[in-house]
Amino acid sequence: MHKPLLRRRHFNWTLLALAGWGFVAPAQAATPQRILVVGDSLSAEYGLARGTGWVALLQKQLARDKPGVQVINASISGDTTSGGRSRLPALLQKHQPSHVIIELGGNDALRGLPLNMTQDNLQAMTRQAQAAGAQVILLGMQMPPNYGPDMAKQFEAAYAQVAKSQKAALVPFFLKGIGDDPDPLKWFQADRIHPNEAAQPRMLANIWPTLKKQLK
């Protein structure tokens, strides 16, 4: 009649003894944080030595400040928002990122693509990433001045509108301190389009405060 009680007591004492010696089931490992960068030549190290672009610098920053966070650079030189939108579902499925940085739109502007299409693509990408459980950061871009001030304002506002409607984070101007520098040529390669190596730390500095807030 008393044997089951004794067995239970023996079982409880055994558990306590095992816990004291460290023989307890390990806690479930935290889900690793992965940052997926979907961009164009500004993020694909166009014209730069490998490992000197802002994405590579981001990985080094994370190694110091947020060890264990991974960066996947899925940027392709020449890509547009349409290209990024078509590629994103497969990238989300493959990498299962916790954060997605969208750096696209510059080539849309250079090619004169319809602004409403660019905005629709950015919004669709943001929704897709959020539906997959990722936090999103949009990197805003600006049009060259030769397109006129009205078009430039509309293009810049498109990023803000997408960020607001989707409650996503926004870096208003990815090339702040570079493209709007009084002497911008010192920050660009000979083509006057792509930032040089000296500009890459500035590009990262424009992103880092927003990204750091999102990381655990």
Question: From CA 162, how far away is CA 15, in angstroms rounded?
Answer: 54
Nearest 5°: the CA angle 87, 206, 170 is 55
Using an 8 Å Cβ cutoff, are 133 and 69 in contact? no
- Give the Cα-Cα-Cα angle 187, 203, 198 (nearest 5 degrees): 35
Residue type at position 115:
L
**Partners of residue 170 on adjacent β-strands:** 138
Strand, helix or coil for residue 196: coil
Whole-angstrom Cα distance, residue 105 to residue 109? 6
CB 103 within 8 A of CB 43: yes
Could you list the active site residues? 41, 191, 194
Residue 98 CB contacts under 8 Å (≥ 6 apart), including other chains: 31, 32, 33, 34, 35, 133, 134, 135
